[in-house]
Amino acid sequence: MFSVVAAKKAQEVATDTNYRNIIHTYSALPDSMNLELAKNMMQIQSDNQYKADYDEFMKGIGWMPLGSLESEKNRKAMEIVSEKKYRQHPDKLKYSILMDSMPMVLATSNAKIMDNHLYKKDWEGEKTQIHITPDIPEILLAKVNAYNISDHWTKAVLHDVLA
C-alpha cells in the first residue's frame, strides 16, 4: 500500500500536478471588474513563478566545466561515433611510424629482396650487349655471307663494270 501512495506522489511531482494555481470560478456579477483583475493577476503571477522556476532549475542543469572527466568522456565518445570520421578516406587518417623501428626495417628489406625490377635490372642491361669475341670463325663467316648476299655491293660492282 505504501508503494502505491509513493507512486502517486512521484507521479504528481513528475507531471507538475498542483504546481500551477488553478483559478477558482467565483460566481459574481458580470460587471465586477475587481474580481476579473484579481483573476488575471493570479494567472500572471502563477505563470511568472513557473517560468522563473523553469529558467532557474531546468536551464541550469546542463552546465559542465570544460576539461572535467565527464566532458572529456563525452567528447571522446562523440569522436568515436562521428559519422564524418567514420566515412573519411583512409589516406586522410593520421598515422606515423618510426623509420628505424624493427618492423619497418624488416619490411623495407623484404621489399628490396622481393622487388622484381631490381632482381632483373642487371640482366636487362647485359642482354643487349654481345659477350662473344668478334674474331671467332662463326662470326667471320656470318659477316662474309652478309657481304656476299647484300644487294648493295652487287649493284655497286655492276655499276663499276658498266661505267
Cα 4 to Cα 6: distance, rounded to the nearest angstrom = 5
Contact status, residue 39 vs residue 23, Cβ threshold 8 Å: yes
Question: Residue 106: is its pLDDT beyond 70?
Answer: yes
Q: In terms of pLDDT, which residue wins out, 13 or 160?
A: 160
Sequence-distant contacts of 1-4: CB under 8 A, at least 24 apart: none
Would residue 95 count as lying in a domain?
no
- Residue 144 within a domain: yes
Host domain of residue 149: 137-162
The pLDDT value given to residue 92: 84
Query: What CA–CA distance (Å, rounded) separates 50 from 56?
Result: 10
pTM of the model: 0.25
The CA distance from 98 to 86, in Å, is 26
| 106 belongs to a structural domain | no
Q: Which residues contact 17 (CB under 8 A, 6 or more apart)?
A: 11
Does 88 reside within a domain? Answer: no
Q: Is residue 145 part of a domain?
A: yes
- Asked if the structure places residue 49 within a domain, the reply is no
Instruction: Dig out the grid coordinates for 71 from the structure.
Output: 566532458
153 domain residue, yes or no:
yes
The reply to whether 150 falls in a domain is yes
Task: Name the domain count of the chain.
Answer: 1
